[in-house]
């Protein structure tokens, strides 16, 4: 029996490394596009101002990129150290997109990064521009394969369980790649990176305006960043709508937790904050139908009939069928050599109940409820901050186009102090996605208490605090280096 403390500490350690890694990833995705647009303007216009502008943001990109690689490597190692049962159970499937990401996408990204950063005076302008764009595209392709792997955990497809190897094995690679959850997660994550890059560039540029330095550089950077950020925001809104429908279909408990919805029904209300609701809005968001049925937490636990007439079993029924599947699996393994007929019967029982196999590791219906308050408020932080960023970038671009932004020092202060908020919004989004999926490592297939490695709690605690120290040091170093680079500035107007 796995200790609850081991599960909790393993989850905490993975959350720590994932949250730290996601500090660096969205900025990499966003800055890569912004600096590519700036360099494109340089190549088209031939104005060295834009070359120096692109170089400055490229310097900050390189600092962030390097630290992001270090945190990402540690994150992936944990699948073998802390989650070895998970790796064994589904490694054939989960490992495929991660291998492609490492062999192809990351190799592409790193190769063209070298040309981009060191090749200004060694290759032609157009080839250098191509390298800059391919660095950004490589970062997005790298994110694509990682998000395909994550989307499979949210909505597992393209595999079947082999009781002889005790592994889920891939039977349809393209089902994995074309998983509908993957496309919406990719859009949502990558374009939220555009928003991060935009808020970052706007915030630093406003600092220059407040210091009355590098005015042309700051205003030009703000215009490019705001346009990229607004485009990203529109894409995030579109993918968020798509993701909401998919969550309602594939992960109804997560949606119920996001809304704190205990009892569902038709014309389900959307809760802005506790006590303030918009009637019917949740049904529209989840089903694109005002009369759409949305189950609540209690509906899912008690069992319900959806709009198509399909009967969804109760939590107790799922757990009972899961335990039946586990017992049949044990019988099959024990009897397949001694009594093939008994083993065949057990295998049939296993196949009938396999969709509920993971439920057999749960102790009670309450295990199926994620931390509702955390998911509820994280969702509102993500959406509320997203709306704020949209207003801010619109206002910034409006005043910049009217050539009055320099006088709006109040708005410059807001933009500067908004920079930490974009990271909070990103972290909140991942809390919704991952904590909202609990207790599952893989939705409906493998709970966390069956996925963890058989290691000591002390070992996990020790490495947790080591990672806290290392990652915090990485973050402090990055911030210090970036601050020095920002304080030095692009030095465009001083030459």
Domain that includes residue 203, residue range: 20-243+457-488
SS3 480: helix
For 433, counting Cβ atoms within 10 Å of its Cβ (0-12 exposed, 13-18 middle, 19+ buried), the class is: buried
What confidence tens digit (pLDDT) does each residue in 32-56 have? 999 999 999 999 999 999 999 999 9
Mean pLDDT for the chain? 92
* pLDDT for res 2: 57
* pLDDT for res 132: 94
**425 in a structural domain:** no
Tell me the HSE value of 309 on the side-chain side, using a 13 A CA sphere: 0
Domains of the chain: total: 1
SS3 391: helix
pLDDT band at 108 (very low <50, low <70, confident <90, very high): confident
Q: At residue 89, does pLDDT exceed 80?
A: yes
CA 238 to each of CA 18, 136, 245: distance values in angstroms, whole numbers, following the listed order: 25, 22, 11
For 491, counting Cβ atoms within 10 Å of its Cβ (0-12 exposed, 13-18 middle, 19+ buried), the class is: exposed
pLDDT band at 81 (very low <50, low <70, confident <90, very high): confident
**177 in a structural domain:** yes
Kindly state the average pLDDT of the residues 474-478. 91
* pLDDT for res 94: 84
Q: At residue 492, does pLDDT exceed 80?
A: no
* pLDDT for res 495: 43
Q: What's the CA angle centered on 375, arms 263 and 433, to 5 degrees? A: 110
**205 in a structural domain:** yes
**95 in a structural domain:** yes
Q: How far apart are CA 261 and CA 268, in angstroms?
A: 9
What confidence tens digit (pLDDT) does each residue in 356-398 have? 999 999 999 999 999 999 999 999 999 999 999 999 999 999 9
Q: At residue 491, does pLDDT exceed 90?
A: no
Q: Is there a contact between 457 and 9 (Cβ–Cβ < 8 Å)? A: yes
Tell me the HSE value of 422 on the side-chain side, using a 13 A CA sphere: 32
Q: How far apart are CA 395 and CA 41, in angstroms?
A: 24
**156 in a structural domain:** yes
Question: 287-294: which pairs have CB atoms within 8 A and are 24 or more residues apart?
Answer: 287/245, 287/248, 288/245, 291/266, 291/267, 292/266, 292/268, 293/264, 293/265, 293/266, 293/268, 294/248, 294/252, 294/255, 294/256, 294/261, 294/264, 294/265, 294/266, 294/268
Q: At residue 212, does pLDDT exceed 50?
A: yes
Task: Show Cβ contacts of residue 121 under 8 Å, excluding neighbours closer than 6 positions.
Answer: none
Q: Is there a contact between 329 and 350 (Cβ–Cβ < 8 Å)? A: yes
**180 in a structural domain:** yes
Q: What's the CA angle centered on 222, arms 21 and 224, to 5 degrees? A: 85
**357 in a structural domain:** no
**50 in a structural domain:** yes
Kindly state the average pLDDT of the residues 116-126. 89
Pairing of strands 304-305, 446-447: unpaired
């Amino acid at each position: 029996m796995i200790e609850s403390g081991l599960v909790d500490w393993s989850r905490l350690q993975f959350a720590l490394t994932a949250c730290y890694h996601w500090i660096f990833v969205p900025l990499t995705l966003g800055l890569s596009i912004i600096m590519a647009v700036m360099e494109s303007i340089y190549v088209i216009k031939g104005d060295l101002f834009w070359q120096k502008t692109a170089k400055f943001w490229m310097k900050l990109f390189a600092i962030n990129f390097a630290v992001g690689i270090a945190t990402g490597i540690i994150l992936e190692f944990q699948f073998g150290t802390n989650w070895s049962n998970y790796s064994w159970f589904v490694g054939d499937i989960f490992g495929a997109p991660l291998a492609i990401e490492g062999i192809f996408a990351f190799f592409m990204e790193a190769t063209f990064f070298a040309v981009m950063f060191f090749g200004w005076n060694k290759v032609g302008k157009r080839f250098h521009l191509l390298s800059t764009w391919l660095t950004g595209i490589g970062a997005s392709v790298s994110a694509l394969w990682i998000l395909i792997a994550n989307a499979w955990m949210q909505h597992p497809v393209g595999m079947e369980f082999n009781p002889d190897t005790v592994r889920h094995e891939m039977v349809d690679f393209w089902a994995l790649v074309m998983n509908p959850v993957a496309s919406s997660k990719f859009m949502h994550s990558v374009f939220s990176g555009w928003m991060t890059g935009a808020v970052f560039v706007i915030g630093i540029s406003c600092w220059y305006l407040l210091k009355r330095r590098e005015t042309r550089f700051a205003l030009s950077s703000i215009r490019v960043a705001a346009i990229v950020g607004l485009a990203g925001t529109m894409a995030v809104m579109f993918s968020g709508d798509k993701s909401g429908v998919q969550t309602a279909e594939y992960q109804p408990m997560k949606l119920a937790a996001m809304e704190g919805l205990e009892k569902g029904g038709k014309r389900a209300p959307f809760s802005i904050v506790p006590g303030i609701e918009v009637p019917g809005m949740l049904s529209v968001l989840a089903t694109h139908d005002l009369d759409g049925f949305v189950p609540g937490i209690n509906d899912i636990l008690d069992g319900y009939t959806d709009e198509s007439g399909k009967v969804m079993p109760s939590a107790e029924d799922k757990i009972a069928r899961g335990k039946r599947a586990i017992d049949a699996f044990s019988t099959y393994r024990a009897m397949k050599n001694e009594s093939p007929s008994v083993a065949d019967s057990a295998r049939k029982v296993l196949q009938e109940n396999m969709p509920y196999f993971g439920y057999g590791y749960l102790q009670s219906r309450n295990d199926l409820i994620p931390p509702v308050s955390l998911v509820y408020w994280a969702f509102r932080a993500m959406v509320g901050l997203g709306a704020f960023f949209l207003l801010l970038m619109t206002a910034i671009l409006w005043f910049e186009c009217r050539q009055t932004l320099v006088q709006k020092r109040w708005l410059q202060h807001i933009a500067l102090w908004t920079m930490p908020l974009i990271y909070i919004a990103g972290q909140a989004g991942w809390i919704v996605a991952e904590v909202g999926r609990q207790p599952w490592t893989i939705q409906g297939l493998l709970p966390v208490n069956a996925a963890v490695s058989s290691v000591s709690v002390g070992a996990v605690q020790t490495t947790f605090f080591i990672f806290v120290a290392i990652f915090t040091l990485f973050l402090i170093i990055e911030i210090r280096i970036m601050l020095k680079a920002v304080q030095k500035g692009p030095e465009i107007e001083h030459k």
